[in-house]
Amino acid sequence: MKKVGLGILSAGALLLAVMLLKTASFTSRQIAVEPVAAAEVDGQRAARNLSRAIQFKTFSDQAPRKSNSAEFKAFHGFLEEAFPRIHRNLQREIIADNSLLYTWKGSDDSLAPILLTAHLDVVPVAADTEDDWTYPPFAGRIADNYIWGRGSLDDKGCLLATLEAVEVLLGDGYIPRRTLYLAYGHDEEDGGRGGAAKIAALLQSRKVKAEWILDEGGSITVGIVPGVSQPVALVGIAEKGYLTLELTVEQEGGHSSMPPPRSAIGILCSAIHHLQNDPFPAKLEGPTRELFEFAGPEMSFGMKFLFANQWLLGPLIKIQLAKANSTNAGIRTTFAPTIIAGGTKENVLPQAARAVVNFRLYPGDSIGYVVEHVKKAIDDPRVQVRPSGPDANEASPVSAVDSPSFQVLQRTVGQIFPEAIVAPFLMLAGTDTKHYAGLSDNIFRFLPMYLTSADLERIHGTNERLGVDNYEKFIAFYIQMIRNSNKILE
């Protein structure tokens, strides 16, 4: 008995030793960066430009189309006026009436081009919320050291920051070795099929293969990644896929006084119930694994110990991450029934019932696999399962974090935001990059600015605003990213 006890004890000690060893060898993925003098950016002037940009109501899905197009045209005119060097030195093409593609020809044709992208459109302000704004949403007020208004964060800040960066570089007489594309779609908020998809098709027809593409996405966060005290620059290296399925049940109608055991509504509800009891498997792989590979070594000891030993503690980590909706969405394909309809009268059996379920696909879970999973979970031939709506796309490929392009991005973050660490992650929301997938293997989704959880609620919400100081660094980042890509990246 004593021997068995000793055996267990020594096995436990051995296991602990292995786990401690794993923790000790879970070393930092951050890179040492030589400091640079950030470019001189006239923050006040840039803020005034962004303020004016906010005043254009460039909605992507607003009727009537004609007047909307006039708003985009006026916005194009403003950009011409605000960025004279760009409009003298770069080629500008208007794509699909409202989208813009600028080409800054590089001096070395043998190098792959780079592509910065943002979107021209914004979402409208929800009805009856205009009065909740501290300053009117389309006034572009600069107050309290913020630029206020719809689009300041999503995505006119990004759009204007990339233009400001190129304008500064042109003013310095900078000559890029790589060709730089600035691609600005006009309907990202509406799926991007009319804008970014058209730009991507044009570039594809010209056989463009970009070294990297950088779009909106993650940002610099504080206190969002658990166990990490320093700011974390979250770089989206993949984004989830999108699918909507319609579940329908058709039954004989009739009087409800002699009903079958299940009406069409009952069958449909059972189907939803079964589906909800059969969630998609949790995964600690791909982009989410990379997140913890980069963030884990920077965590407090307990958390570091946990993530260094995923080989053993993976199931425990998954259970923990599944507890909050935001982290659960980062480890699996999720779904939510979003619409349900059926029945017309209280004493009539419904002839049909219909539910709509929206899915967000984890990289690696294909649309085909998801549909099969749903059919299997429901396991009822009376329930028809079909794709619904025009928006369906597979999860994006996952960009590699050991590529020279990622390292240039990481280095640039280190130079402009030396206090932050870099961690790749999976974007839960979609961006225009879904249309650019064929144009580069290195697609990154990152807004080089600080965003708090409260700021995230302002996006598409009330009181959207961007700090002027934040905005200066935003621009400085793009300048440095372009310089680094032409200097370091070979």
- Contact residues: Zn ion, CB under 5 A: 154-155, 216
Helix, strand or coil for residue 255? strand
- Considering the candidates 155, 187, 188, 215, report the single residue annotated as catalytic: 188
Residue 236 structure tokens = 């989206």
Comparing CB distances to Zn ion, the nearer of 187 and 216 is: 216
Provide the minimum distance between the beta carbon of 36 and Zn ion in the complex, in angstroms, as a whole number: 29
Comparing CB distances to Zn ion, the nearer of 142 and 153 is: 153
Provide the minimum distance between the beta carbon of 338 and Zn ion in the complex, in angstroms, as a whole number: 21
**Is residue 472 annotated as part of the catalytic site, yes or no?**
no
Helix, strand or coil for residue 181? strand
User: Which of 103, 240, 209, 202 minimizes the C-alpha distance to 440?
Assistant: 209
Contact between residue 398 and residue 237 where contact means Cβ atoms under 8 Å apart: yes
**Is residue 188 annotated as part of the catalytic site, yes or no?**
yes
Provide the minimum distance between the beta carbon of 252 and Zn ion in the complex, in angstroms, as a whole number: 48
Q: Which residue bears the tokens 């946990």?
A: 306
Residue 69 structure tokens = 């197009």
Provide the minimum distance between the beta carbon of 241 and Zn ion in the complex, in angstroms, as a whole number: 18
Helices (H) and strands (E) in the chain, counts: 15, 17
Q: Please list the alpha-helical segments (H only) found in 84-221.
A: 84-89, 156-171, 196-205
Provide the minimum distance between the beta carbon of 215 and Zn ion in the complex, in angstroms, as a whole number: 9
User: Which of 65, 183, 54 minimizes the C-alpha distance to 123?
Assistant: 54
Buried b (16+ CB within 10 A) or exposed e, 432-458: bbbbbbebbbbbbbbbbbbbeeebeeb
Provide the minimum distance between the beta carbon of 121 and Zn ion in the complex, in angstroms, as a whole number: 8
Comparing CB distances to Zn ion, the nearer of 29 and 119 is: 119
- Strands 114-119, 421-427: pairing is unpaired
Alpha carbon separation from 132 to 127, 129, 466 (Å, rounded) = 11, 5, 18
Helix, strand or coil for residue 429? coil
Comparing CB distances to Zn ion, the nearer of 154 and 298 is: 154
Comparing CB distances to Zn ion, the nearer of 60 and 310 is: 60
Q: Which residue bears the tokens 């791909």?
A: 286
Q: What sign does the dihedral 271-276-281-286 (CA atoms) show?
A: positive
Comparing CB distances to Zn ion, the nearer of 154 and 164 is: 154
**Residues with catalytic roles:** 121, 188
